[in-house]
């Protein structure tokens, strides 16, 4: 199965899970007198719309290179991540607003059984986070990473709701607003997660080169290619699930243009074979003198 199809299946799994949880949370919150659960259901519902955006982004990013997009369409993925962050911020603002409103509105304490519902939800969301995050690392997808943090933020809001309901249930009269304050605490965690997924996506759009381990691996592999004496500059930029590479390789300055050209192609083929996550590979040949020093350009 291709990486794009695997990523799409992961997002569909998240969509189905979030849609089901949104219904469960709302019903439990409505019949169990818990605003924290209702607010949590709103967050899950927004997650469904965010997952739809991620799915659209992954499908578009998986398109092959064409005449107008020689490096492919991978940049669509971080752009969609920005929209996902926007949905998370809207979710946090909605929860915060309704929590503040509810604090000033008298309401009955939550039902005891809502704690069981939240306990099951927390376990499920943490399992979902670990599974989707593992997929994001395997596929090197910023969108799937954002999707994973959706599950973690949902688990955090559920934990906050659990603590709030626990205090409200066992604290007695006057502690009914505990789950509303818990929802406000969850908002802070959601906003922090927004930064965690926004920062790497921004770096991807800005072609930030911080791929230290991949750079070292490329240099190591390059030296195994016959004719490559050394590597100089190595620039890497990420687009979707692919890494585009610009590499300067030193070869014997006495070689013909044809020989240098062949070495460059051998280097490209070797890198692409050993590192399938690489996309466009540009090799620039630098000549060296027979004593190993680089020729001075005039």
- pLDDT, one tens digit per residue, over 92-110 is 888 888 788 878 877 677 7
The DSSP secondary structure of 178-197, one letter per residue, reads: HHHHHHHHHHHHHHHHHHHH
The C-alpha atoms of residue 291 and residue 59 are separated, in whole angstroms, by 51
**Coil/strand/helix, residue 290:** coil
To the nearest whole number, what is the mean pLDDT of the chain?
82
Cβ burial of 71 (10 Å; 0-12, 13-18, 19+) is: middle
Q: What's 294's DSSP letter?
A: B
Q: What is the pLDDT of residues 172-204, one digit of tens each?
A: 777 777 877 877 877 887 788 788 778 888 887
User: Tokens 């919150």 appear where?
Assistant: 29
> Taking the complete model, does pTM exceed 0.85, yes or no?
no
């Amino acid at each position: 199965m291709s990486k794009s199809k695997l990523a799409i299946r992961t997002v569909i799994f998240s969509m189905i899970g979030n849609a089901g949880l949104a219904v469960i949370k709302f019903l439990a919150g409505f019949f169990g007198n818990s605003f924290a659960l209702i607010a949590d259901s709103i967050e899950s519902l927004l997650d469904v719309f965010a997952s739809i955006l991620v799915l659209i982004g992954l499908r578009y990013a998986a398109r092959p290179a064409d005449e107008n997009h020689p490096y492919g369409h991978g940049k669509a993925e971080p752009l969609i991540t920005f929209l996902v962050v926007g949905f998370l911020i809207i979710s946090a603002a909605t929860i915060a607003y309704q929590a503040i409103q509810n604090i000033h509105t008298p309401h009955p304490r939550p039902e005891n059984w809502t704690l069981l519902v939240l306990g099951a939800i927390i376990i499920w969301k943490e399992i979902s986070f670990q599974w989707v995050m593992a997929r994001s690392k395997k596929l090197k997808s910023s969108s799937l990473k954002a999707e994973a943090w959706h599950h973690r933020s949902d688990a955090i809001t559920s934990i906050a709701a659990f603590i709030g309901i626990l205090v409200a249930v066992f604290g007695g009269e006057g502690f009914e607003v505990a789950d509303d304050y818990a929802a406000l605490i969850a908002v802070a965690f959601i906003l922090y997660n927004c930064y965690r997924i926004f920062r790497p996506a921004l770096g991807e759009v800005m072609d930030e080169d911080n791929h230290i381990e991949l750079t070292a691996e490329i240099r190591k592999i390059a030296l195994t290619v016959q004719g490559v004496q050394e590597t100089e500059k190595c620039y890497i930029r990420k687009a979707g699930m692919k890494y585009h590479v610009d590499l300067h390789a030193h070869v014997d300055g006495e070689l013909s243009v044809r020989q240098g050209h062949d070495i460059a192609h051998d280097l490209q083929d070797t890198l692409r074979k050993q590192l399938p996550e690489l996309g466009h590979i540009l090799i620039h040949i630098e000549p060296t003198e027979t004593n190993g020093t680089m020729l001075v350009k005039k």
